[in-house]
Chains A and B, each alone.
Chain A
Amino acid sequence: MATKKIFIIPAFIFFLVYYFMLPVLVGYAPHFMSIKVWGNVNLAYLFALSQFFMAWTIAGLYVRAGDDFDEISKDIIEKALEHENSQGAK
């Protein structure tokens, strides 16, 4: 469970900060966000678009990590059940 938290808490905080930077910057620094990067495409649009890839990346990493947690917890359950059974037999 502790290993699970090691992933979830930083990931959650990172995504909150990254996401709320968008409305804060768009709201309070509209001129900065209007800087054109490529043709007419500005920073505001690119940053918004990057949010989608940020979300997908975190989701992908979490699914990978999550499947490992499943293995660990399955192990723990099996061991606990074995322990119980052996005690019951005595």
Chain B
Amino acid sequence: MSVPLLMFLVFIAITLGITYWASKRSSGSSAYFAAGRQIRSWQNGVAVAGDYMSAASFLGIAGIIAFQGYDGFMFSVGWLVAYLTVLLVIAEPLRNAGKYTMADVLAYRLKPRPVRAMASLSTLTVSTFYMIAQMVGAGALVALLLKGSGISYHTAVIGVGVLMIVYVVFGGMLATTWVQIIKAILLMAGTLLLSILVMSHFHFSFAAFFDAIGHVTYHEKGQEVVKDFLQPGLRYKPPYGPLELISLGLALIFGTAGLPHILVRFYTVPDARTARHSVVWAMALIGSFYIMTTFLGFGAATIVGRDFIATHGGTNMSAPLLAQALAGDIFFAFICAIAFATILAVVAGLTISASTSFAHDFWTNVIHRGEERKPGEEVRVARISAFVVGAIAMAIAIMLGPTANVAFLVALAFAVAASANLPVIVLSIFWRRFNTAGAVAGLGVGLIASIGLILVSPSLMAIDPPTVTGAARHLIQAKAWFPLENPGILSIPLGFLGAILGTMLSHEPTSTHKFNELLVRSNTGLGAEKALAKH
């Protein structure tokens, strides 16, 4: 048995043990959906980091920096700075005003059924797309990492899918939280170790390290080129490069605070103060991690080299190959196991947020008008929907296959979160006049604008040369109508516009009336959901 496979199995055994432990404590809705609201601030902070830093950031960013230098580092910056929006605007009001989902905050002062139905639709859209992107990535990656153990893409997708379903169905939020905490600790340890190894390669001289980044040599179209990788512009070139960068920044800054799987984490802590402190914990970890992508990405570019990575699995393998070059096969296996843990923790977080939204918002509050017909029904529905959502994501990932171009799904998830979810959350907390029609219009316009603009963007519309075949081909073979891959710069203003126009064109005195109540509750925590007593 290969060493990476062995490390994978150890990780799986530990997390299943946690799930078993959590399953014995997860009875009742608040325990299942919000871990009894007993998670401490450092625990939640680490779990937020674990929930957030996906394979796209660990393997993807290292790869983009290794191949396109400085421009890749721009992602790193946005991914941390975005947490200021979460900290300053979202975390505390959300914790104080809601119960399990972001729709709770909207339903507090607006008509519950229409806003919950729309919010649930947008949550399910974001979670499912994000999950499919992660699953396709996971399948391709696990198959690549475990090459030689006879594990195919299909087996890998099914394995990841089954594990995430088991964590969520049996262990609920408590098990998900601990899987995320363990993953975050592993990821930080691995990244730190890798960074130290990179610097020791340069005899701990930053001058030598940055000097090496100044002339990275590789082959392009058969010719040897030498480039300064600290120079901006290797990825985002004129004419649309600068706009693309701004649009990406907007999607990250406003999208992170609208990602349902991040938002649900703030319901697991006892109060708003803990929520605030946990964001700071998360920012400390996430920031340190993204600064270290400097060493991972540029290290791979200078020590391993673009040519070698391109012929040994491609961009996503940059970090594992760097580990192999610096410290041999065992360390390679360790980094692979971390990548695997990373994927599992993120998909588990997505599954629980999707199933919570379906059970709590759609089933209980939209279909059954806020009444649980039998005790425990909500949790049972959530478990079934976790299973269904997971199965759908698995099926689509298998249909698409390992070569499918799925990077746009992540851009889409951030765009929907930024253009649909964030405007309505912000307006319902801060705008007295905001009403139901505005919320429904904002969610609808934001959702449609994001999906529509991505459909006609270069991610899905391009003319491929005949050498490109199968799932790697673009969906629509024509010149793209919208020039940017990230629609944020247009779709976010459209989402806000929809919400504002919808409000202006209708009247709803009760929502204005209840605004004061929400204002007091979101700022002081008066009447907020309490933590379960310790057993």
Q: Which residues of B contact A52 (CB under 8 A)?
A: 77, 80, 287, 290-291
- Closest residue to A58 on the B side, CB-wise? B84
- Are B233 and A59 touching (Cβ within 8 A)? no
Choose from A23, A44, A63, A70 the contact partner of B246 (Cβ within 8 Å).
Answer: A23
- Are B283 and A55 touching (Cβ within 8 A)? yes
Within 8 A of A (CB), among B233-259: 233, 236, 241-243, 245-246, 248-249, 253
- Are B245 and A27 touching (Cβ within 8 A)? yes
Choose from A23, A60, A67 the contact partner of B249 (Cβ within 8 Å).
Answer: A23
Q: Which residues of B contact A86 (CB under 8 A)?
A: none
Given contacts A1-B519, A23-B74, A66-B273, contact A77 B214 (CB under 8 A): no
CB-based closest 5 A-B pairs: A27-B242, A23-B245, A40-B214, A73-B524, A40-B210
Q: Residues of A at under 8 Å CB distance from B?
A: 1, 4, 8, 11-12, 15-16, 19-20, 22-24, 26-28, 30, 33-34, 39-42, 44-45, 48-49, 51-52, 54-56, 58-60, 62-63, 66-67, 70, 73-74, 76-77
A19 to B88, CA, bound (A): 15
Q: Residues of B at under 8 Å CB distance from A?
A: 70, 73-74, 76-78, 80-81, 83-85, 87-89, 92, 206-207, 210-211, 213-214, 228, 230-233, 236, 241-243, 245-246, 248-249, 253, 272-273, 276-277, 279-280, 283-284, 287, 290-291, 519, 523-526
Residue with the greatest number of chain A CB neighbours at <10 A, chosen from B70, B236, B525: B70
Choose from B74, B231, B284 the contact partner of A48 (Cβ within 8 Å).
Answer: B74
Choose from A11, A23, A74, A77 the contact partner of B88 (Cβ within 8 Å).
Answer: A11
A82 to B287, CA, bound (A): 44
- Are B84 and A59 touching (Cβ within 8 A)? yes
- Are B523 and A4 touching (Cβ within 8 A)? yes
- Are B253 and A19 touching (Cβ within 8 A)? yes
Q: How far, in Å, is A46 (CB) from chain B's closest CB? A: 10
A24 to B491, CA, bound (A): 19
Choose from A39, A51, A66 the contact partner of B210 (Cβ within 8 Å).
Answer: A39
Q: Which residues of B contact A41 (CB under 8 A)?
A: 210, 230
- Closest residue to B214 on the A side, CB-wise? A40
- Are B273 and A67 touching (Cβ within 8 A)? yes
Q: Which residues of A contact B284 (CB under 8 A)?
A: 56
Q: What would be 5 A-B contacts, judged by CB atoms less than 8 Å apart? A: A16-B253, A19-B78, A24-B246, A30-B231, A55-B80
Q: Which residues of B contact A30 (CB under 8 A)?
A: 231-233
Q: Which residues of A contact B207 (CB under 8 A)?
A: 39
- Are B84 and A55 touching (Cβ within 8 A)? yes
Q: How far, in Å, is B43 (CB) from chain A's closest CB? A: 17
Given contacts A39-B207, A44-B230, contact A51 B276 (CB under 8 A): no
Interface of B is mostly: helix
A61 to B500, CA, bound (A): 32
- Are A77 and B249 touching (Cβ within 8 A)? no
Q: Which residues of A contact B78 (CB under 8 A)?
A: 19
Given contacts A15-B81, A19-B253, A66-B276, contact A59 B523 (CB under 8 A): no
- Closest residue to B83 on the A side, CB-wise? A55
Q: How far, in Å, is B89 (CB) from chain A's closest CB? A: 7
Q: How far, in Å, is A15 (CB) from chain B's closest CB? A: 5
Q: Which residues of A contact B287 (CB under 8 A)?
A: 52, 55-56
Q: Which residues of B contact A76 (CB under 8 A)?
A: 524
Q: Which residues of B contact A12 (CB under 8 A)?
A: 84-85, 88-89
- Are B210 and A48 touching (Cβ within 8 A)? no
- Are A19 and B70 touching (Cβ within 8 A)? no
- Are B283 and A59 touching (Cβ within 8 A)? yes
A45 to B73, CA, bound (A): 9
Q: How far, in Å, is B78 (CB) from chain A's closest CB? A: 8
A53 to B84, CA, bound (A): 12
- Closest residue to B250 on the A side, CB-wise? A20
Known: A48-B70, A56-B284. 10 other contacts (CB 8 A): A22-B249, A27-B236, A27-B246, A34-B231, A39-B207, A39-B211, A44-B231, A48-B76, A63-B280, A66-B92
Choose from B81, B214, B243, B525 the contact partner of A27 (Cβ within 8 Å).
Answer: B243
Q: Which residues of B contact A15 (CB under 8 A)?
A: 81, 84, 88
A45 to B206, CA, bound (A): 14
Choose from A1, A44, A49 the contact partner of B291 (Cβ within 8 Å).
Answer: A49
Q: Which residues of B contact A42 (CB under 8 A)?
A: 230-231
Q: Which residues of A contact B291 (CB under 8 A)?
A: 49, 52
Q: Which residues of B contact A51 (CB under 8 A)?
A: 77, 80-81
Q: Which residues of B contact A22 (CB under 8 A)?
A: 74, 77, 249
Q: Which residues of A contact B280 (CB under 8 A)?
A: 59-60, 63
Q: Which residues of B contact A45 (CB under 8 A)?
A: 70, 73, 230
Q: How far, in Å, is B486 (CB) from chain A's closest CB? A: 11
- Are B523 and A73 touching (Cβ within 8 A)? yes
Given contacts A48-B74, A58-B84, contact A40 B246 (CB under 8 A): no
Q: How far, in Å, is A74 (CB) from chain B's closest CB? A: 8
Choose from B206, B210, B245, B525 the contact partner of A26 (Cβ within 8 Å).
Answer: B245
A40 to B209, CA, bound (A): 9
Choose from A4, A24, A27, A56 the contact partner of B283 (Cβ within 8 Å).
Answer: A56
Q: How far, in Å, is B426 (CB) from chain A's closest CB? A: 11
- Are A48 and B77 touching (Cβ within 8 A)? yes
- Closest residue to B205 on the A side, CB-wise? A39
Q: Which residues of A contact B242 (CB under 8 A)?
A: 23-24, 26-28
A19 to B524, CA, bound (A): 30
Residue with the greatest number of chain A CB neighbours at <10 A, chosen from B77, B78, B92, B523: B77
Given contacts A15-B81, A48-B73, contact A77 B230 (CB under 8 A): no
Given contacts A23-B242, A48-B74, A73-B525, contact A8 B230 (CB under 8 A): no
